[in-house]
Amino acid sequence: MDMKFLVISDIHSRAETLKLVPEDEDLACICLGDICAGDPTGSGIAIDWLMEHEAICVMGSHDLPVVDDEALERYRTREETLRREGRGNPDLFRRFYNDALRVRNGLSEAQLDFISSLPDLHTISCDGKTIHMIHNSLDTELNRTGNRIVNTQVARYNFDSPSFTGDILLVGHSHIPLAYRMHDGEITETIFSDTGSIRLVEGRYIMNPGSLQRIRSNPRHNEKTKIFQGEERVSYGILDLTESTYTVHLVKPR
């Protein structure tokens, strides 16, 4: 099993940013979902890249409606509910519906098969470590932060989840490059405002590489993420189990 991993997430069809990640044969690739978005060409290129690199991937919230009718219909139902109740942003869910349908109709059969094959949760063992991978969260209370792990409270829910039986949980979804460490009941938060590393010492970890589409802020649930408002950079992670480090790279697309 490989000991060093390129960790990417939330491409959202912006396949040109894959040129920014290192091409290193010693790096195994992990993708934490949301490969697809409204552009079938970019989505297809990203899928082909992941297949070529034999990436370990999990299903993203925007990937599932591309291949699952029930998930696609939930967008329409959500739109109708918000319009009826006069709240929220129903046009957003109309756009999500149209985007997913456009990608579905634009991908090849092999590309659709690839997306259909993705699990919600994947676990590997490496160098005595058990690594879980999921797009969003192990916490089933979706209303906490839109199922995004963006603060220590929601991180604690995940650390306490019966599904978190391993050492490391890799997540995407929030587009925020961060890490949480739990040791002796205490949680430490690291938000990567620039390229930087943490050393993996005793304890368990939740780590998010950010996004290859764009980094976002979520000050409603974590005031510290205001630093990413207007951010133009994208990000990816390198998990090195040999050196016991996790490094996040923030790069500006050319």
pLDDT digits (tens, 9 = 90+) for 117-150: 999 999 999 988 999 999 999 987 756 667 899 9
What domains are there in the chain, each with its CATH number?
4-63+118-251 (3.60.21.10)
Break the chain down into helix, strand, coil percent, rounded to 5.
30, 25, 45
Cα separations in angstroms, 133 against 44, 164, 186, 204, 237: 22, 10, 22, 14, 14
Give the model's pLDDT for residue 145.
63
Three-state SS for 75-139 is HHHHHHHHHHHCCCCHHHHHHHHHHHHHHHHHCCHHHHHHHHCCCCEEEEEECCEEEEEECCCCC
Dist CA 57 CA 113 (whole Å): 13
Dist CA 156 CA 199 (whole Å): 20
Give the model's pLDDT for residue 143.
60
Exposure of 2 by Cβ count < 10 A (0-12 exposed, 13-18 middle, 19+ buried)?
middle
Give the model's pLDDT for residue 127.
82
What is the bridge-based pairing of β-strands 168-171 and 129-134?
A: parallel
Cα separations in angstroms, 241 against 1, 37, 128: 11, 32, 10
What are the φ/ψ torsions at residue 200 (nearest 5 degrees)? -85, 100
Give the model's pLDDT for residue 1.
56
Instruction: Tell which wins on pLDDT, 81 or 25.
Output: 81
Q: Where does the pLDDT of residue 26 fall: very low under 50, low under 70, confident under 90, or very high at 90 and above?
A: confident
Q: Where are the alpha helices (DSSP H) in 107-238?
A: 109-116, 152-159
Dist CA 77 CA 250 (whole Å): 37
Q: Which two tokens stand for residue 162?
A: 């019966």
Specify whether the CB–CB gap between 251 and 194 falls below 8 A. no
174 has a pLDDT exceeding 90: yes
Exposure of 72 by Cβ count < 10 A (0-12 exposed, 13-18 middle, 19+ buried)?
middle
pLDDT digits (tens, 9 = 90+) for 90-119: 999 999 999 999 999 999 999 999 999 999
Mean of pLDDT over the chain? 95
Give the model's pLDDT for residue 48.
98
Whole-number percent of the chain with pLDDT over 90? 92
pLDDT digits (tens, 9 = 90+) for 196-237: 999 999 999 999 999 999 999 999 999 999 999 999 999 999
Q: Where does the pLDDT of residue 25 fall: very low under 50, low under 70, confident under 90, or very high at 90 and above?
A: confident
pTM, rounded to two decimals: 0.95
